[in-house]
């Protein structure tokens, strides 16, 4: 049984094969059109749909399907996508189509792993929003599905593809700040659910069971969704998993650490005492890496001020926001923001690689989607491939686990397992509801 047929049997869907696997090369050629479906079309999902719809004018991309469990969002997306597109409430029906090469997944975090694995098993390339996963087990399943099915997976930490991130990476790789020993990431604190509201019936346009998906069933509450899912540990994980998936993604990239990981993780901070939101209000997480030895710190809240004084920040027109400082034994470099845009200091922006210097990966046209399309067409690894996306997500998962458990965790970066702590090891995975499971 082929990959797509096997996936169809697992999901209870018709056994069909995507059109791309029927060609001699097994993937679209350089001049072929990439046929795409969108799963999750609100928020960032709407932005991704805008991109691909605009891209259709070039003739190398075609959007044929949109999917969402919110009928209002789905109707708006269908109108935007055009008459050639079909709407779906259930992503499994979309994945059963034989005429699609790829999907863009921009559902809430708790859906990312399951839908990515199912998409890969149906033979489709995947662009999945960050963070890649919610548990260690999910991340392993995503990496394995990508390898086994030989699909290009791009995780939506788009900072890696942007021009100033490339310049910062080039500057660091060429030794301009010396050996980096510490990376301090900063972010502002999280909000608190100060006015809890009672559970209620879900709005008529929302399929609440489908929205919950792999999570345990619970009554609907407006504090859970849409965007507020980020402040619930089970579905979002807080600032560290939202913006940390950008800031720490760049840190791993610049430090060439996607294939490594910390050996210890220790967090401290404050968790809410009321309301449904249960992610950290403030927290500090220290990650210790070995061979080479360096430290990463997630500071929430943290400020740029220790590195840029207020006068310099005003002159440059920047604010604390979120970012990271890379501290080398010769100098330091600040890289801030990391999602919609990446900024760095002018010494890095103006830097040019010297003769015989080190070059670093550069996404085509500094475009994260274009980098994914290149991966689909050529088989080349994407800049934020699933291994890098999972490595970044693991940092955020481990930080939250350490905070909740109140102790330092020992991590085996090769096996990707917590060691010496049976309770923490059990928390590397969690039950998932049938049929929305890995």
- pLDDT for the residue numbered 290: 96
Residue 318 pLDDT:
61
* Residue 289: count of CB within 10 angstroms of its CB: 19
Q: Based on the domain organization, do 91 and 232 belong to the same domain?
A: no
Do 245 and 239 contact (CB within 8 A), yes or no? Answer: no
Parallel, antiparallel or unpaired: strands 294-300 and 153-155: unpaired
Domain boundary among 158, 189, 208: 158
Q: Could you tell me where the DSSP H helices lie in 82-201?
A: 91-95, 109-121, 136-149, 163-173
Tokens standing for 205? 């346009």
CATH of the domain at 310: 3.30.360.10
Q: Sign of torsion, CA 434 235 384 48?
A: positive
- What pLDDT shows up at residue 304? 67
CATH number at residue 127: 3.40.50.720
| Pair 265, 413 in one domain | yes
CB burial of residue 408 (10 Å; 0-12, 13-18, 19+): middle
Per-residue pLDDT tens digits for 5-37? 434 443 444 333 344 443 333 466 445 899 999
Among candidate residues 158, 189, 206, the one where a domain is terminated:
158
Other residues' Cβ atoms within 10 Å of the Cβ of residue 257: 22
Query: Are residues 83 and 116 both part of a single domain?
Result: yes
Q: Do 166 and 109 lie in a common domain?
A: no
Residues 183 and 322 in one domain: yes
Contact 94, 37 (CB under 8 A): yes
In this structure, are 57 and 101 located in the same domain?
yes
Residues 344, 411, single domain; the answer is yes
**Does the residue 60 lie in any domain?**
yes
Q: Do 114 and 167 fall within a single domain?
A: no
Residues in the chain: 438
Residues in the chain with pLDDT values less than 50: 1-26, 29-30
Q: Is residue 297 part of a domain?
A: yes
Whether 375 is in a domain gets the answer: no
Examine residue 435 and state whether it is found in any structural domain, yes or no: no
DSSP designation for 90: S
Residues sharing a CB contact under 8 Å with residue 258, sequence separation 6 or more, in sequence order: 252, 385, 387, 388, 391
Q: Domain count for the chain, please give it.
A: 2
**What pLDDT does residue 341 have?**
85
pLDDT tens figures, 347-364: 999 999 999 999 999 999
Domain co-membership, 295 together with 275: yes
Indicate the residue among 112, 128, 158 that finishes a domain.
158
Which range marks the domain in which residue 145 is found?
3-158
Whether residue 43 sits in one domain with residue 178: no
| Burial class of 420 by CB neighbour count within 10 A (0 to 12, 13 to 18, 19+) | exposed
Reported as type and span, the H/E element at residue 391 is helix 386-405
Mark whether 142 and 171 lie in a shared domain.
no
Tell me the whole-structure pTM to 2 decimals: 0.91
Residues 85 and 187 in one domain: no
Instruction: Name the nearest CA neighbour of 172 among 156, 161, 183.
Output: 183
d(CA 297, CA 295): 7
Considering the domain boundaries, does residue 47 fall inside one?
yes
């Amino acid at each position: 049984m082929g990959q797509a047929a096997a996936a169809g049997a697992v999901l209870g869907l018709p056994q069909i094969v995507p059109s791309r696997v029927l060609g001699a090369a097994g993937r679209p050629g350089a001049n072929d059109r990439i046929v795409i479906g969108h799963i999750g079309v609100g928020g960032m999902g709407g932005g991704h749909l805008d991109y691909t719809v605009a891209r259709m004018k070039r003739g190398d991309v075609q959007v044929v399907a949109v999917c969402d469990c919110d009928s209002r969002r789905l109707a708006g997306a269908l109108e935007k996508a055009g008459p050639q597109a079909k709407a779906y409430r259930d992503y499994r029906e979309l994945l059963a189509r034989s005429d699609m090469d790829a999907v863009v997944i921009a559902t809430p975090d708790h859906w990312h792993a399951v839908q990515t694995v199912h998409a890969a098993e149906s033979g489709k390339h995947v662009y999945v929003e960050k963070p890649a996963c919610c548990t260690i087990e999910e991340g392993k399943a995503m990496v394995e599905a990508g390898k086994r099915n030989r699909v290009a997976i791009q995780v939506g930490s788009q900072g890696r593809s942007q021009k100033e991130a490339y310049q910062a990476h080039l500057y660091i790789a060429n030794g301009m700040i010396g050996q980096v020993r510490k990376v301090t990431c900063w972010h502002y604190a999280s909000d608190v659910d100060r006015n809890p509201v009672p559970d209620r019936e879900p709005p008529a346009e929302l399929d609440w069971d489908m929205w919950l998906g792999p999570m345990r069933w619970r009554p609907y509450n407006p504090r859970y969704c849409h965007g507020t899912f980020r402040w619930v540990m089970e579905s979002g994980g807080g600032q560290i998993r939202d913006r940390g998936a950008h800031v720490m993604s760049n840190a791993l990239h610049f430090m060439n650490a996607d294939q490594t990981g910390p050996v210890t993780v220790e967090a401290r901070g404050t968790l809410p005492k009321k309301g449904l939101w249960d992610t950290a209000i403030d927290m500090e997480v220290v990650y210790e890496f070995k061979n080479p030895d360096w430290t990463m710190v997630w500071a929430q809240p943290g400020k740029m001020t220790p590195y840029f004084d207020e006068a310099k920040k005003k002159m440059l027109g920047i604010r604390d926001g979120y970012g990271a400082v890379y501290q080398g034994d010769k100098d330091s470099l600040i890289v801030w923001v990391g999602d919609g845009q990446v900024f760095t200091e002018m010494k890095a922006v103006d830097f040019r690689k010297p003769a015989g210097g080190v070059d670093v990966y550069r996404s085509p046209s500094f475009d994260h989607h274009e980098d994914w399309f290149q991966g689909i067409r050529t088989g080349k690894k994407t800049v934020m491939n699933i291994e890098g996306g999972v490595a970044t997500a693991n940092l955020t998962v481990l930080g939250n686990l350490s905070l909740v458990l109140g102790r330092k965790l020992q991590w085996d970066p090769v096996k990707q397992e917590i060691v010496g702590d049976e309770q923490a090891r059990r928390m590397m995975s969690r039950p998932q509801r049938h049929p929305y499971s890995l």
